[in-house]
């Protein structure tokens, strides 16, 4: 039995750090475990250009000074992105890619694009400049069943876009379905996917286990067991196209426990311990290192982090709640015991 692992600091390839008070608290949690993280641009005022991304970078750095942590910024896909702006994005060492939200699919996506094909002119320029496109892969048609929105996004949009722009590197974020795992596996090496802890741990029953569970609500919404099993299979397969992205997305408790609760699960405080728990429970702990510290870096053409983390098998209780000014955030697995502890070496 493996009781201790030491490996290069992992990268969280999909992270929400928010702004103000939340940013101050949650950025430190990620910085304590991860060497780098890709920071999502869906703030209340989205990060729509390189100037805003550089300002946000400085804020994140300011809050994470004591750690060896590098935020990798993203731009919110928008139709105002000109060739000049794309060139600025390409040469910035602080910006890693552009994140596309179909309008209305998730938190702060009301400035997203309504028709996927309207992005083609910009995709073409991104392909030439070799700027990665990160996608929230769900259709925004309210008439489509919410459990089918990811699958239909692939059929209707992604297959065509990849045919049209085969050299564009695309990351399908937070995959939640069997269809996504198949699409990514079968397509070229320019297509990869991030995987969250919640899509590995739970199927959709979790949303209704003993009553309505707002803290299990995220987007893409949890799916049937066969999908969880497929996503888990992809994560522990050792296939380099699947890598770690927590999608840690904090919302205040009062905003989740509400008549119209926000989507998003907070996992950053114990992210590596939770992934270790999941891989270990599935007899795949030896696959954790590459999933966390290598495959994502390779896809984004980054070298691995120099510093290391240590994961030790020992009991660890996830806190019931995390205090912030004027409220609290409830973490994934709140109050539950897990069997791993993570520290910087
Ligand atoms: C994210 C958020 O709250 O910003 N929510 C979520 O449920 N995952 C946005 C997103 O990644 O969809
Ligand atoms: Zn997200």
Query: Residue whose CA is closest, atom 11 of ligand 1?
Result: 247
Fold of 4-344: TIM Barrel (3.20.20)
The residues with which 114 forms a beta bridge, in sequence order, are: none
Outline where 92-133 has alpha helix (H): 120-129
C-alpha of residue 338 to centroid of ligand 1, in Å: 25
Tell whether ligand 1 has an atom less than 6 A from the beta carbon of residue 139. no
pLDDT at res. 82 = 98
Kind of pairing between the strands at 308-317 and 4-8: antiparallel
Domain ranges of the chain: 4-344
User: Tokens at residue 112, please?
Assistant: 């997203």
pLDDT at res. 66 = 85
Phi, psi of 63 (to 5 degrees): -85, -10
pLDDT at res. 229 = 99
| Residue partners of 178: CB distance under 8 A and separation at least 6 | 226, 227, 230, 231
CA–CA distance, 290 with 308 (Å, rounded to integer): 13
Tell whether ligand 1 has an atom less than 6 A from the beta carbon of residue 246. no
pLDDT at res. 49 = 98
In a 10 Å sphere around its CB, with 0-12 CB exposed, 13-18 middle and 19+ buried, how is residue 189 labelled?
exposed
Taking CA atoms, 276 is separated from 157, 282, 286, 322, in Å, by 34, 10, 10, 21
Instruction: Give the atom of ligand 1 at the shortest distance from the alpha carbon of 105.
Output: 12
pLDDT at res. 122 = 98
> Which of 14, 271, 249 is CA-nearest to residue 108?
249
CA–CA distance, 215 with 204 (Å, rounded to integer): 12
Q: Which residue has the tokens 């993570």?
A: 342
pLDDT at res. 222 = 98
C-alpha of residue 39 to centroid of ligand 2, in Å: 9
The answer to whether 40 and 74 have CB atoms below 8 angstroms apart is yes
Q: Which residue has the tokens 């550089």?
A: 54
- 247 belongs to the catalytic site: yes
Tell whether ligand 1 has an atom less than 6 A from the beta carbon of residue 198. no
C-alpha of residue 344 to centroid of ligand 2, in Å: 25
User: Tokens at residue 22, please?
Assistant: 């939340």
pLDDT at res. 288 = 98
> Which of 171, 170, 172, 220 is CA-nearest to residue 198?
220
Task: Quote the pTM value.
Answer: 0.98
User: Tokens at residue 260, please?
Assistant: 């119209």
Tell whether ligand 1 has an atom less than 6 A from the beta carbon of residue 107. yes
Split the chain (345 residues) into runs of 10 and give each run's mean pLDDT: 97 98 97 98 98 98 94 97 98 98 94 94 98 98 97 98 98 98 98 99 98 98 98 98 98 97 98 98 98 98 98 98 95 98 95
CA–CA distance, 11 with 39 (Å, rounded to integer): 11
């Amino acid at each position: 039995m493996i009781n201790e692992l030491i490996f290069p600091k992992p990268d969280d390839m999909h992270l929400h750090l928010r702004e103000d008070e939340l940013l101050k608290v949650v950025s430190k949690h990620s910085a304590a475990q991860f060497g780098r993280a890709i920071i999502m641009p869906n703030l209340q005022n989205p990060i729509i250009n390189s100037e805003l991304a550089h300002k946000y970078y400085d804020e994140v750095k300011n809050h994470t000074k004591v750690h060896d942590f590098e935020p990798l910024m993203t731009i919110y896909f928008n139709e105002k992105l000109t060739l000049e702006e794309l060139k600025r994005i390409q040469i910035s060492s602080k910006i890693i890619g552009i994140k596309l939200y179909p309008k209305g699919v998730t938190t702060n996506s009301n400035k997203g694009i309504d028709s996927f094909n309207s992005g083609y002119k910009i995709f073409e320029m991104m392909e030439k400049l070799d700027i990665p496109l990160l996608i929230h892969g769900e259709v925004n048609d309210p008439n489509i069943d919410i459990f089918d929105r990811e699958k239909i996004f692939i059929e209707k949009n992604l297959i065509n876009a990849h045919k049209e722009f085969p050299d564009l590197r695309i990351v399908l974020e937070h995959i939640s379905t069997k269809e996504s795992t198949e699409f990514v596996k079968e397509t070229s090496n320019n297509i990869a996917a991030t995987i969250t802890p919640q899509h590995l741990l739970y199927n959709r029953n979790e949303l209704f286990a003993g009553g309505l569970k707002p803290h299990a609500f995220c987007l893409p919404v949890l799916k049937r067991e066969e999908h969880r099993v497929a996503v888990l299979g992809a994560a522990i397969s050792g296939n380099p196209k699947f890598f770690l992205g927590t999608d840690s997305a904090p919302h205040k408790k009062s905003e989740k426990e509400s008549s119209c609760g926000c989507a998003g699960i907070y996992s950053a405080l114990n992210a590596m311990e939770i992934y270790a728990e999941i891989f270990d429970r599935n007899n795949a702990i030896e696959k954790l290192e590459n999933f966390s510290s290598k495959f994502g870096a390779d896809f984004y053409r980054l070298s691995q982090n120099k510093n290391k983390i240590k994961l030790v098998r020992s009991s660890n209780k996830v806190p019931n709640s995390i205090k912030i000014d004027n409220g609290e955030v409830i973490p994934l697995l709140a109050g539950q015991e897990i069997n791993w502890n993570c520290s910087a070496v």
